[in-house]
Amino acid sequence: MKHYLVSVLLLWSVTLCAQSVRLTATISSSQVAAGEQFEVVFSTNADMEAFEPPSFNGFQVLGSPSQSSSYSSVNGVTTSSISISYLLMAVKEGVYSIGPAMMKSGGRQYRSNSLKLTIVKGSAVAPNSGGGNSGGADRGAANGRPADISKRVFIRAIPSKTSVYQGEQLSVTYKLYTNTDIVDLALDKMPDFNGFWSQEVKDKTQNVQGAQEEYNGARYNVAVLKEVILFPERSGKLPLDALAMTIVARMPVPSNDPIEDFFGGSYKDIKYKIRSAAVNINVKPLPENGKPEGFKGAVGDFSIMASVDKTALRANEALNYNLVVRGSGNLKLLVAPELNLPADIEKYDPKVADNFNETLAGVSGSREFNYLLIPRHEGKFKLQPLRFSYFNPAINRYVTLTTRDFDLDVAKGLPGSNVTSFSSGAQQDVKMLDKDIRYIKTDGRLWMPGDGFYGSLTFWLLLLAGPVLFVAAFFYRQQYRKNNKDQVLVRSRKASKIAAKHMANAQKQLDAGDKKLFYEAVYRGLYGYLGDKFNIPAADQNKEDIEERLRSAKINEALIIQLNETIEWCEMARYAPVSGISEQEVFDKAKGIINDIENA
């Protein structure tokens, strides 16, 4: 029974894995006009062993398909996807179906979904004359192309090698080929180079270099768009991402007018999307046979040289150990070699200085590692030879280089001597060592176990302070909740504070001389205070209800009359001037009324 359950679980997991492989077809638009370009993309989350596209009957295929891949890792889960895209052009109106594509992965066949596409009538493009009033790209551009445009304008990705080892450098040049006039062009997408470490070759002229080349028996004007050096980071078949552009090409069209032909003929400007064809790089893993111990991924052709700035010195005095790696290859990916040092010599992290030359031939130059070493005690020490291993793809084998050894004669250090860092002019990079590395103190006060803070009165008071503060905070929280539970009481308690804000605003308007805003602020302050203090809703804030609430609260009748007079003065003053009382007197009365009610 146990073996049966294990077999069922294994079969279920295999079935789930098989079902997780998908081949999906998508289209950029389900309705296009005749003569308009559109894109069909087939995407999968598995490795393709073989791929068979549909027939695309009724459409024109514009150039070769492009392939791209993406990888992501989230919380340790790695996912990947591969996409193959086709640029097509609609020819005739109607409703068309694009059949499923076929893919083989893991020894199984997979089929994509079908696509439906509606092609509507496209807008005709009138040809422009070849004279000086040709109109320009924006007026003449159209979606569409003559049958031979893909042979007259295209992009090529040209790698220096198509089969390399992991870490071996190669260069790729993206070139634009044209043998027709280009009115306008725009860059749509730069390649991502997934799976590669890339370094662009910088053009010192900052201009696109143009030349003429013969390709497939035809003469073309060629412009170099991008040059880049690549270093594969993993083995397998890695596709070079496409470089995509949108161009407006000026194409000649037939004309029945001999005079027009005499002056250059007719043409039309065609908006056209182009991209480089898919190119795969076969990346071979580095051989395990003969891989030396301590190999750290250096690939290329290198030489090394080591030197020290002194061999006789005192204890706690610094010396510089310099290692220079020269050659061509993945110099930018080299890590600092480990030095095998005696225990009495202290080492700091090395300073790295680069001197690289980047061309289509690859990265060459040198990387220099400068180690700061400090012998802590006197004596004779030997710096053992350093071993540096790399893989040379030219001879298909590993090479190990060894530096010379160095004998150090370390004398007794000076008392209280301070040590500084790099003797080659970088003394400011390392601090005085006697300020960040302290020696053992030979004097000072010592305590017996139990003597000091532990067990003292302060210790116990601080220990008890935590629970006491916790209990106090608990009761404070309970009291706070109780006081704020009744919103009517909370509103009543805060009534005077809100009224004070209104009175402050009234004083501000009084100082500014704005009588209308002054009386409005006093009016709002009194009504707002009464509504909050006695829980009177805004809809019930009239003279009768306010008097009734005040009498219920046993407010003095004279104070109620004084309140009504003040409110009436404010109401009248908002619409017409009042006489017989000044603004300051109104302000003082309002403040006095609020204070008297609070104290009642």
Per-residue pLDDT of 373-412, as tens digits, reads 999 889 999 999 999 999 999 999 999 999 999 999 999 8
- Give percent above pLDDT 90 in the chain: 30
Is the CATH number of domain 300-436 2.60.40? yes
Q: Which of 157-171, 260-274, 510-524 has the highest mean pLDDT?
A: 157-171
Question: What integer is the mean pLDDT of 274-286?
Answer: 90
Nearest Cα neighbor of 157 from 191, 133, 198 is 191
Q: What is the pLDDT of residue 112?
A: 93
More confident residue, 60 or 14: 60
Residue 63 token pair: 């150039």
| Secondary structure class of 262 (helix, strand, coil) | helix
d(CA 439, CA 373): 19
**DSSP code, position 429:** G
- The CATH code of domain 21-123 reads 2.60.40.740
Residue 240: which H helix or E strand, with range? strand 236-240
Render pLDDT for 134-147 as a digit per residue (tens, 0 to 9): 333 333 344 344 44
Structure confidence by residue, pLDDT tens digits, 222-235: 999 999 999 999 99
Please tell me the distance from the alpha carbon of residue 485 to that of residue 561, in angstroms, as a whole number: 34
State whether residue 578 is helix, strand or coil. coil
Angle between helices 515-533 and 495-512 (to 10 degrees): 170
* CB-CB contact of 256 with 154 (8 Å): no
Checking if the pLDDT of 417 tops 70, the result is: no
Strand 387-392 versus strand 397-402 pairing type:
antiparallel
Query: So what's the pLDDT on residue 436?
Result: 52
> Spelled out in words, what is the top-level CATH class assigned to the domain 488-599?
mainly alpha
Q: Strand pairing of 406-411 and 312-314?
A: parallel
Place of tokens 């043409």: 267
How far the first Cα of the chain sits from its last, in Å, is 89
Question: Which of 280, 260, 311 minimizes the C-alpha distance to 134?
Answer: 260
At 236, is the secondary structure helix, strand, or coil? strand
> Is 56 in contact with 88 (CB distance < 8 Å)?
yes
pLDDT at position 570 = 82
The structure tokens listed for 564 are 């009504």
The DSSP secondary-structure symbol of 112 reads -
What is each CA distance from 199 to 242, 300, 572, in whole angstroms? 17, 16, 82
Rounded Cα gap, residues 295 and 398, in angstroms: 9
Fold type of domain 127-285: Immunoglobulin-like (2.60.40)
Closest CA to 382 of 411, 405, 412: 405
* pLDDT band, very low/low/confident/very high, at 193 (cuts 50, 70, 90): confident
| Helical axes 495-512 vs 583-599, angle rounded to 10° | 170
Q: What does DSSP say about strands 379-383 and 406-411: parallel, antiparallel, or unpaired?
A: antiparallel
Spatial distance between the Cα atoms of 311 and 334, rounded to a whole number of angstroms: 28
Domain ranges of the chain: 21-123, 127-285, 300-436, 457-482, 488-599
Question: Encoding tokens for residue 582?
Answer: 């000044």
pLDDT value at position 440? 63
Check if 127-285 and 300-436 are the same fold. Answer: yes
CA angle 182, 149, 268 (to 5 degrees): 55
CA 405 – CA 306 distance, rounded (Å): 9
Other beta carbons less than 10 A from residue 527's beta carbon:
18
Sign of the CA dihedral running 40, 280, 158, 54? negative
Extract the tokens encoding 50.
């073989």
Q: Which amino acid is at 242?
A: A
Confidence (pLDDT) at 441 = 64
